[in-house]
Amino acid sequence: MIRLAIRNVGKDFGGVPAVRDFSLDIAAGEFVSLLGPSGCGKTTMLRMIAGFIAPSRGTIELNGKVLSSPSASLPPEKRGMSMIFQSYAIWPHMTVAENVGFGLKLRHLAANEITRRIEEVLAVVRLSNLSTRYPAELSGGQQQRVALARAVVIQPEILLLDEPLSNLDANLREEMRFEIRRLHDEFKMTTVYVTHDQSEAMVTSDQIVVMNQGAVEQIDSPYALYNKPRTRFVASFIGRTNLLPATRAGEKIDFHGFTLPADQFDGLDDLGSELRFSLRPQSIHITRSQPGSSAKGEFWVPGKVLKRSYFGDRWDYAINPGGDLSVQVSTEPAQRCEIGETVWMAINPRDMVAISA
């Protein structure tokens, strides 16, 4: 069942398009992230869903009812949505319980119902023992939980989150990614989440909308985005990758440093002769001695180690297989190679995704 339907939505500011032809269907209970760099239009799109901005083109519908169009827009307070901002916006003069229950009081619920819902949601976000504290007495992660509890306690049709973890340190951000997903699974709430952090989107989302310069580049599951990117932008934005230039020449694919048989690749016919291939660094295996044979589907390519970096959990190498080409390879920490050493890279065409140049 489609809960939120966005149809060909665009938004211009001063004649300059901030969002271009955005279309998306979000099912009931689905967690969808809008992912992209600063200025790509993701927050503008979220604010149009919330009703803070009217679209210049297209419509936004909730359960079949039009909420926004260029001619009319339902006010935010009548949309049945909750929004969490970067700043959390919790009131410093109210306790945790008072902050969480504020929206329920505005809806004039009975006192015992308000108390029941507050206790229920505080238990879910693990703040029951802090209900009488004030925001200044809480950590950043606890304040974030208060904001989440206040948003979900009113049981909104849609939960909107605008980069809610950007003010937290790296370790706390990582913890809160899993917490947000846990709360989503607990409440089964339809959620739209804006972030520029691809790790946040990968951990939390059922579907990710990758945006670039106001337009949608690709909509897919985290797994499909990582393993089957459709554009050069998506391949480079979602994780680390090698974008290898190549030319199709008869029965060979020339990578300007090594060649592979063209018949090992699928779906090249519609992409022309000039190509780029996405190949993840961790998909390449290396050996220091020349192999006698390779596993089925793999091709061994010799190269010289140009650079190396040690990260504790891995080595990153830059390897030159010929010409001006540099291939990034990640290995386990025990696999140490020296700069200037010749190694052999095992490259499997099944791990390579062709993208039109």
Give pLDDT tens digits for 212-263.
Answer: 999 999 999 999 999 999 999 999 999 899 999 999 888 899 998 999 999 8
235 found inside a domain: no
Could you tell me which of 296, 300, 267, 269 has the C-alpha nearest to residue 286? Answer: 300
Whether residue 52 is found in the same domain as residue 132: yes
Whether residue 19 is found in the same domain as residue 115: yes
Q: For residue 348, give its domain range.
A: 240-356
Name the pLDDT band for 295 (thresholds 50, 70, 90): low
Whether residue 218 is found in the same domain as residue 250: no
Quote the pLDDT of residue 168: 78
- Is the pLDDT at 264 greater than 70, yes or no? yes
Quote the pLDDT of residue 43: 95
Whether residue 314 is found in the same domain as residue 182: no
Number of domains in the chain: 2
Q: How far apart are CA 223 and CA 229, in angstroms?
A: 10
Encode burial over 277-316: b for 16+ CB neighbours within 10 A, e otherwise. bbbbbbbbbbeeeeeeeeeeebebbebebeebeeeeebbb
Whether residue 217 is found in the same domain as residue 254: no
CATH code at 349?
2.40.50.140
51 CB neighbour count, 10 Å cutoff: 19
| Average confidence score pLDDT of the chain | 91
Which of 243 and 180 is assigned the larger pLDDT?
243
Quote the pLDDT of residue 140: 83
**pLDDT cut 70: percent of the chain above it:** 98
Could you tell me which of 167, 195, 212, 235 has the C-alpha nearest to residue 39? Answer: 212
234 found inside a domain: no
Residue ending a domain, choose from 175, 208, 229:
229
Quote the pLDDT of residue 357: 62
Tell me what the mean pLDDT of segment 257-277 comes to: 87
Whether residue 7 is found in the same domain as residue 84: yes
Quote the pLDDT of residue 294: 63
Whether residue 108 is found in the same domain as residue 203: yes
Quote the pLDDT of residue 293: 64
**pLDDT cut 90: percent of the chain above it:** 66
Tell me what the mean pLDDT of segment 304-320 comes to: 96
Tell me what the mean pLDDT of segment 301-318 comes to: 96
Is the model's pTM score more than 0.85? yes
Residue ending a domain, choose from 202, 229, 256:
229
Which of 51 and 293 is assigned the larger pLDDT?
51
Strands (E), 96-201: 158-162, 191-195
Whether residue 199 is found in the same domain as residue 280: no
- Is the pLDDT at 308 greater than 90, yes or no? yes
Tell me what the mean pLDDT of segment 337-348 comes to: 95
Whether residue 164 is found in the same domain as residue 83: yes
Residue ending a domain, choose from 229, 249, 284:
229
- Is the pLDDT at 60 greater than 80, yes or no? yes
